[in-house]
Structure 1
Amino acid sequence: MKRDQLIERVKAEMPERRWLHTEGVMAAAVVLAERFGEDAERAELAAILHDVAKYWPVDRMELIISEQHLPGDLLAYDKELWHAPVGAWVAQHEFGVTDNEVLDAIRYHTSGRSGMSKLEKIVWLADYIEPGRDFPGVDRIRELSAKNLEESMLAAFDNTIAFLIAKGKRIYPLTIDARNDLIQHIKGG
């Protein structure tokens, strides 16, 4: 599918304000890919599709998680996590994406995970720092992202985890794993 066709189909799945967010993620992903030596086209493709299922009804996402044998533990956590693995499934089965790294970048753009590829990290961070985001700490993380991918991600994970704790929310295990993996990577062992 051509880029313009893909954009039109994905844009139809979300309200205008979410499409503006997606455009911001696309732009940030391209900048980060160029900065850190990743394929900008693949980063942009994952960014275009990352929120394709974000505004789907919860019961539709739940059905896909159950019927397609996506990680069942997701159902015990915040519904905000669900659209990422559902989106990866949609990208593969409805949009014909076959690049496993692109699919993983979509799949883990909310939770992260241990052993993230550079592409996954770029899309995860682009979603976090895109220009439309405005929350405490985001400017500092944008500054860090100009220098170091992993250190900016660690700061973002710390920010997210602190927010979830303050709200009394459960933290998805893959998020903890992603943070721990980054610490190990940064400390060199």
Structure 2
Amino acid sequence: MNRETALKLVKEQLTDHRYQHTIGVMETSILLAQKYGVDEKKAELAAIFHDYAKFRPKEEMKEIIIQENMPKDLLEYNSELWHAPVGAYLVAKEVGIKDEEVLNAIRYHTSGRKHMTLIEKVIYLADYIEPGRYFPGVDEVRELAKEELDQAFIQSIKNTMIFLMKKNQPIYPDTFITYNDLVMRRF
């Protein structure tokens, strides 16, 4: 699928603000893919569709999680996590993308998972550092991403967990698992 067709499909699903975010994620993912040897077209496609389900009704997402036997523990955590696995499902079903690398990059861009692939890390990180993002710690991660993907990825997860802890919000277990997996393999 070419970029223009993909963007047109996504634009129908998103607010203008979220569409601009998607453009930023797409551009950032292409740069990261070039730097770290990831298939640029796959990264571009995953980035374009990463928030495909972001504005679907919560009840619809909940039903899909249940019907498609996705991890039920998702329903116990913040619904902001849901759009990633539901999005991967809907992109396959509604758009017809079947490439598992692309779908997994969409599926895990909010929670992470153990043994993430390079494309999954690229999409997760591009979503975190795209130019429209402004929050404490993002500039540090942007700088790290220029030099070392895993170190940037670890820092982004660390920042996210600290943010959630400061707000007394629960952290999805796969996010801890992702962090531990990366740190244990790295050091």
Match of 1:24 in 2: 24
Match of 1:45 in 2: 45
CA-CA distance at 1:171 after TM superposition: 0.5
Match of 2:57 in 1: 57
- Match of 2:69, SS state, is coil
CA-CA distance at 1:62 after TM superposition: 0.7
Residues 51-109 of structure 1 deviation map (CA, whole Å, 9 limit, x = unaligned):
00001111111111111111111000000000000000011111111111111100000
Match of 2:143 in 1: 143
CA-CA distance at 1:186 after TM superposition: 1.6
- Match of 1:146, SS state, is helix
Superposed CA RMSD: 0.8
Which amino acid is the alignment partner of residue 66 of structure 2? S
Distance in 2 between the 1:166 and 1:90 partners?
33
Match of 1:116 in 2: 116
Of 26-35 and 94-103, deviating more is: 94-103
Distance in 1 between the 2:3 and 2:22 partners?
14
Distance in 2 between the 1:6 and 1:28 partners?
17
After TM superposition, the score normalised by the length of structure 1 is 0.97
Match of 1:180 in 2: 180
- Segments of 5+ residues of structure 2 without an aligned counterpart are none
For 1:147-162, what aligned pairs fall within 5 Å after superposition? 147-162=147-162
Distance in 2 between the 1:3 and 1:128 partners?
21
Identity of aligned residues (%): 48
- Match of 1:51, SS state, is coil
Match of 2:165 in 1: 165
- Match of 2:126, SS state, is helix
Which amino acid is the alignment partner of residue 147 of structure 2? K
Structure 1 consecutive aligned stretches of length 4 or more whose deviation exceeds 4 Å: none
After TM superposition, the score normalised by the length of structure 2 is 0.98
Distance in 1 between the 2:6 and 2:94 partners?
11
Which amino acid is the alignment partner of residue 102 of structure 1? V
For 1:79-90, what aligned pairs fall within 5 Å after superposition? 79-90=79-90
CA-CA distance at 1:185 after TM superposition: 2.2
